Every structure is written in structure tokens, then in C-alpha cells.
Structure 1
Amino acid sequence: MEFDLTWLLIGVPVIFGLGWLASKLDSRQWKREQRDAPRAYFKGLNLLLNEQQDKAIDAFIEAVQADPDTSELHFALGNLFRRRGEYERAVRVHQHLLSRGDLPKDERDRAQYALAQDFFKAGLFDRAETAYEALKGTAFDREAALALLSLFERSREWAKAADVAESLEATGTGSFASRIANYWCELALEAQSNQDLPAARQWLERARQRAPQSARAYVLQGQMLTRDGDQAGTLAVYGDLLKANPDAFNLVARDYAQAALATQSVPQALTLLESQYRRHPSMAMLLAIALLEPDPVAQRRRLTDHLRVEPALSAAAQLLQQSQARQQPLNDDEAQLVGGALQRAVRPLQRYRCAACGFESQHYFWQCPGCLSWDSYPPRWVEEL
């Protein structure tokens, strides 16, 4: 049977034409998909800016389905899920990204960091710790370390928190001395609850050396010495606190006075407290001085002098108690000082407060300037609510 060349001449152009047509159809479909994916993405972005998160998620899902290889859409979708509290869905999105073998290293690290955030927000601290640890040596090393620090604080793993803070400080992130001292104070309290007093003392001494101006270690040391009956040691520790952080001495002024009474060192302690009060007047110092010098006439004089310097409501209340206890009415000067303290104390209470957002103002508003709610202000001052 002879082959007819006519069919060959007809078939080749037909096959070529069909191939050309198929390529055009594929090209149009590809262009349509590429056009639809950005359209869905921008639609989702617009909905997100308008705070329509449900519709934005639907649009992003549509965009991801149109182009599954686009990592940015996965990140946007995962972040949306996390913000909405849908942590399981966020985890699945970021785990899907990590499972892709073609993902570049920088985007893989970014997905790992996002996954660690998902675990942290979900309260899965063990898995979050593992995920953050995997980011050591990456571009997210510092962010992961700071997140680990917050994680260890939440889970009260103070030794690990101190180690992370030390490493952050070593890399030049900043000073973490005060935080490290607080971590060691927490370890001292744990040792104390376990009846390991030598370890507790050691932790507190380390905390004092690490952050000399941090008051907590001094306070805990003094309290421990007081419980042990070492009042002289308490005086010495609180004296060190006064030198290191004079403002924080207010926290222990009363305990210092009681230790002075127990050790019969009232004159020296009284001189120190009066000197500190002259530099930094406060009610805490005044009450401590009253313990060492309980003469009612002297106390009343000190309260009056304090009201001239600082019209505090607590000083006015103490002066009124003194007056009632001795059945001696206030003189004109004392009454004026008490009135000034009361006027100062009541001023912040003479305001209207929005019941919707808590915005306070001296003027009554029909529409709250803070949250724009109507008729949200009760027609009473804060002190009457």
C-alpha cells in the first residue's frame, strides 16, 4: 500500500496549528491565574485595612489556592489567624511552609519564628521554647532570645531567664543587670521555701553585687536577718541600702526603726532618719521617726511642718488623729494646712468619668471625646460614683 503524501502535507500544518492554539490557551490561563491571585491579595488587604478580618481571611485563602507557592500570602494568612486567636490554623499554615523543600533559608527562618509565636500565644510554652531555640544563629536570634526571656518569666524558670539575659547583655542588646538581680532574688525565695537558707543567702549576695542599686536584694536580706533574730545585721543591711538607693529606703524605714529599738541604738538611728528626712521628706520617714521619738508634741510639730512642705492627705489624717487623741482642737494654722491637703487630694476626684471607656474630664460631655459614645457620662463626680 502506497503512502499518500497529500495527507502528510495536510496533517503537518493541522498539528502545528493545534499546538499553537494549545499554547495560547495555556498562556491565557496562566495570565488569568496570575491576574486573579494579586486581585484576591489586594482584595484581602483592603478588607484587612477596613477591619473586616473574616472576609480578609476568605480572600487570602482564595489567593493561596490560586498560587500555593506564594509564601507571602501564607505569612499574611498565618498572622491573621494568630491575631484572631485561631492558633491551630496559624500553626498549620506555618508548618506547611516549613515542609516545603524549595523554601529559601531566610523565609524558612521567618516561618520558624512565626511558628514559635503561634505556640507562645497558644500557651504551648514547651513547644515554643523548642521553636525559639531552633532560631539560634539566624537573623531572628535576638528576637527569639527576647521572646525566650518573656517565656521563662511567665513559666517562672528563673535560672533559664537569667542565662538568657546574660547572653543578651553579652551581645550588646542592653543592660539586664536589674532583671538578673530580680531573677536571683526569685531563686533566693525558692531556696528559702525549700529551707535551703545558705543557698538563699548566696543568691541574695550575688544579686546585690550584680545590681548594687536594686533594692529588692537588700530588703529580702534584711527580712531574713530579722527572722533569724540578727537585728544588728538588719541595721547594717538597711544602712547599705540607704547609701546605694536613698529613695528606696522608704520601703524599710519602719523596719529600720524597729531594729534600732531592739538593739538599743535609738540615738544613732534617729539622727540618720532625721537627716534622710531633711533630704527626702516622706510620710514613711516621718512614721519611722515617730517610732523612735513618740512624744505627741514633737509628732504634732513634725506633721505640721510636713504639711507645709508636702500637703499630703496621710499627714492631714495623722494630724487629725493626734488632735482627737489628745482632745486638743486644731489651731488656725493647722486647720488651714489640713484644708489645703484635703483640697489637693479631692481635686482629681472632682471629675466626670465616661462609663464606656473611662475617659475623665472636669467638664461634662454629652458625647465622650475619647470613645465618641453618647450619654456615657454619669451626672456625678468620680468621688460620688
Structure 2
Amino acid sequence: MLEIEYWWLIALPVFFALGWLAARVDIKHVLSETRSLPVAYFKGLNYLLNGETNQAVDVYVDIARHHAETIELQFTLGHLFRRRGELERAIRMHQKLLVRRELTITQKQTAQFELALDFMQAGLFDRAESLLTELADTDYARQARIELLGVYQQEKAWAKAIETAQQLRDERHTYQHEIAQFYCELASQGALRSEPAAARGYLQKAVAEHRKCARANMILADLEINAGNIDAAIEAWLKIESQEPLYIALAARGLLAAYDAQGRAEDGTKLLLGLLRQYPELDVLDLAYERLLTEQGLLATHEFVRERLKAHPTMPSLRKALEAHLLVAPDDQKVELEVIVKLLHDATREQTMYRCTHCGFKAKQYFWHCPACAEWETFPPVRGT
């Protein structure tokens, strides 16, 4: 036991000396690397840190011109060109890198991937697709498939998008929402081509992929209406309640029109008001207001919106209550009420818009696919916040 302790007394200083020596070697290596870098490199880095991208690019272009061996710098430069929107320069930079013989396999793959991103941003999707497809069996396979998925969505190549999304799915992201939406897009294309049987098949696959895909039943209802099957259309619309109740707001007008076509307008109104009571957030107040005003008259509508405001005090409820009150108010009060209603509408204009929960993009029209961030199902079917 004592012998082991003596050995430790000898070993500890040896280990300390080896660590000190290794640190000295590393420091010398770092210093030699630093001295080999052009002074302008640090000048460009300083510009980047200060957000002065244009000046940084000018500096790095000059370095790359006089130091052809700076491969990583040229990658950085190509990336900066793409960020600035100078796509031709980015493409030329990455094409020159791609043909250099001294590049490692990893560097060639990086150059190919970066060039594909340049082509994508330039709208040259066929060239981007070709490059990304070649990366399928490399270290860039997953990144390439993610970018390919974007290409296929841009090109509306939904079958390829489905296949790629299925290859990408894992425990972190199942892609079930996206794949269901891709099937819905195929169904919409089938409907436009007057191929209802094909469209129905795609809708079945959409629901099988994601059982809460409300859009599938909305498209199915439209197919049934076009085929003259009003009962089947109503059934498809009503199924939305068991999927995502708030999406009924997007189908409510068509649903009421179907009841009207059957001579069951009163049943349609009862259904609408019942849904509104059951789901206070349901965005059908405007439609309910129009419906009651037509069927039951001004006084009944005024009473309805007043009760609605008490039960669910929101800005949309307040706007409708004031609009109805303006219609029944005495003439000497209408001028003031009109000013109040106008001011309220101006102050709450954003409450009449749909908002993407992913990027915040706002639109008067509802989108299943956000035009700004390209995410799917990020617009709640409720206007405002």
C-alpha cells in the first residue's frame, strides 16, 4: 500500500510536466496559425462583427484574390454573397470551389450543397434538385432532403414531396401534418382536372396520415356539392367538429348554403348558433349576425349580440354590439355612435386578420400554407389574437 502511494508521488509531477508541455505546443501552433493569416482578415472580421457586411465582403474578396489557398474563407465569401442577394457572384464562387482538385470529399460536398442553395434562391430549382439529389448518400443527406422538400413544394411536385417527407420523418418530426396537406394538394389538383375518384383517394390517404386533417373533409364536402350530394356534403362538414371544431368557421358559409338548398334554413341557423354557444372562440359571429338580421329582424339580432358580448366579451363582440345598437339607436345619437364605431374599427383592424403563429405574417385571406415562412397549418382559423 505504501509502495503505491510513493509511485503516485513520482507520477503526479510527471503528468503535470506533460500537460504543461502540451499546452506550450498548442499555444505555439495557434500563434503560428495566427501569424500566417493576412492582417486584412481581422479587418474584415471586425467589419462583420460591426454589421458592416459590404465592407467585409470587399476585404475578403481582396484576400481571396491574393490567397487562393484560403478555401474556408471562400466558402464564407460565397455565403455572404448569397445573403446580400448577389447570387451570380455566389454561384461563380461555389462553382470555382467545386472544380478544385485539392478539396477533400467533405469540402466538395459542402461546395455542392452551397451551390444548390444558390440555385434555389435564384429560382433555378431544376439545377438545385439535381445537385441535392446527388447528395443523398453523403453526410449532407438529411440537409439535402430538407432543401429538396422545399424545392418540391415550390414546384408543386406533391408526390415527390410526400416521398421526401417520409424519408425525413423521425422521432423529432413525424411530418404527418405536412404529408396530409400534400395529399390535400393532390386532391385539389384532381378536383380541378375533373377526377373526383382520384381526389377522394388522396383525401382518404390524408385522413389516414393525420386523422385531424380538417381540410380533407372541407375538400370532400366541395366534391360532394359538385356531385349534387348535399347530404354527404353536410356530413363531411359536420365531421370537422370531431377533428378541430374551430375549423368549422372556414366551412360555415358553405354549410348554411347546403341547408338552404334543402329548404332547411332554420335548421342551419340553429346549428350555427348552437356551435357558437358550445365553442365561444368560433369565428362565425359576423355570419351569425348576417343570418339573424335576415331571418329574425333587427331587434332579435340586437338582443343576440348584446347577450353574446356579456357571455364572451371580446373586441369582435363589442364591434357587432355597437353596429347593432347603431341601427336601433335614436337619430340624435347616431352621429356619435358612428364616430365610435369607426374609431373602434380603425383601432382593431388587425383583429380582422388571420395571423401565422410561426412567423407572425398577417393576411385577410386564410392560408393552409403560410406565404411568408412556408410552414403548414400555422394559421389558426380565428381572426385576431
Mapped partners of 1:55, 1:285: distance in 2? 55
**In the TM superposition, what is the alpha-carbon distance from 1:329 to its structure 2 partner?**
4.8
Per-residue deviation, residues 252-301 of structure 1 (Å, max 9, x unmatched): 22322232233355676555434322122346167359748922254332
Secondary structure of 1:85's match? coil
Q: Do the aligned residues in 1 keep the contact of 2:135 with 2:141 (CA within 8 Å)?
A: yes
Q: CA deviation digits over 1:75-109, x for unaligned, max 9? A: 12211222222222222222222222222222222
Change (3 A) 1:321 1:158: farther
- The letter for the 2-side match of 1:223 is D
Aligned residue identity for 1:295: Q
Q: TM-score, normalised by structure 2?
A: 0.70
1:105, 1:202 → 2: CA distance? 44
State the Cα RMSD in Å: 3.5
Matched residues in 1 for 2:129 and 2:223: separation? 35
Residue matched to 2:81:
81
Going from structure 1 to structure 2, the CA distance change for 1:303 and 1:342 (only over 3 Å counts) comes to farther
Q: Which runs of 5+ in 2 are unaligned?
A: 1-31, 350-385
What is residue 180 of structure 1 aligned with on the other side? 179
Equivalent-residue separation in structure 2 for 1:283 and 1:93 (angstroms): 52
Alignment of structure 1 residues 260-299 onto 2, 5 Å: 260-264=259-263, 269=268, 272-281=271-280, 282=282, 284=284, 287-288=287-288, 291=291, 294-296=295-297, 297-299=299-301
Which has the higher mean CA deviation after the structures are superposed, 288-297 or 197-206? 288-297
Task: Check 1:285–1:202 CA distance in 2 against 1; reply closer, same or farther (3 A cut).
Answer: farther
Deviates more, 1:152-161 or 1:252-261: 252-261
Show the counterpart of 1:47. Answer: 47
Counterparts of 1:33 and 1:204, CA distance in 2: 61
Q: Which has the bigger relative contact order, CA under 8 A and spacing at least 6? A: 2
Q: How does 1:76-155 map to 2 (within 5 A)?
A: 76-155=76-155
What is the distance in 2 between the residues matched to 1:174 and 1:68? Answer: 42
Normalised to the residue count of structure 1, the TM-score between the two structures is 0.70
Is contact 1:37-1:66 (8 Å) kept? no
Could you say which residue in structure 2 is the equivalent of 1:230? Answer: 229
**Contact 2:78–2:94 at 8 Å: present in 1 too?**
yes
> 1: CA distance between counterparts of 2:177 and 2:214?
10
> Is the Cα–Cα contact under 8 Å of residues 319 and 345 in structure 2 kept in the other structure?
no
Runs of 5+ consecutive residues of structure 1 not aligned to the other structure: 1-31, 350-385
Alpha-carbon distance in structure 1 between the residues aligned to 2:344 and 2:285? 21
Structure 1 position 140, deviation (Å): 2.1
The answer for the alignment partner of 1:315 in structure 2 is 320
Single out whichever of 40-49 and 287-296 deviates more from structure 2.
Answer: 287-296
Query: In the superposition, relative to structure 1, how do residues 212 and 197 fare at CA in structure 2: closer, same or farther (>3 Å)?
Result: same
Alignment map for 1:1-385 (pairs within 5 Å): 35=35, 37-169=37-169, 171-264=170-263, 269=268, 272-281=271-280, 282=282, 284=284, 287-288=287-288, 291=291, 294-296=295-297, 297-308=299-310, 309-310=312-313, 311-312=315-316, 315-316=320-321, 319-320=324-325, 323=328, 329=330, 345=345, 347=347
What is the CA deviation profile of residues 109-167 of structure 1, one whole-angstrom value per residue up to 9, with x for unaligned ones?
21111111111111111111111112213222222211111121122222211221121
Is the CA contact 2:326–2:338 (under 8 Å) kept in the aligned structure 1? Answer: no
Compute the displacement of 1:37 (Å). 4.1
Q: Which residue of 2 aligns with 1:29?
A: none
Change (3 A) 1:314 1:230: farther
Looking at structure 2, the residues matched to 224 and 90 of structure 1 have their Cα atoms a distance apart, in angstroms, of 47
Aligned to 1:6: none
Aligned AA (1:153): Q
Query: Which amino acid in 1 is paired with 2:295?
Result: P
Q: CA deviation at 1:245?
A: 1.0
Of structures 1 and 2, the larger Rg is shown by: 1
Alpha carbons of 1:136 and 1:67: their partners in 2 closer, same or farther (altered >3 Å)? same
Percent identity between the two aligned chains: 32
What do residues 288-341 of structure 1 show as CA deviations (whole Å, max 9, x unaligned)? 597489222543322221232335255236525763xxxx759x9xx9999997
What is the alpha-carbon distance in structure 1 between the residues aligned to residue 52 and residue 253 of structure 2?
Answer: 57
CA contact (8 A) 1:177 1:210 kept: yes
Aligned to 1:364: none
Aligned to 2:372: none
Alpha-carbon distance between aligned partners in 1 of 2:165 and 2:73, rounded to the nearest angstrom:
35
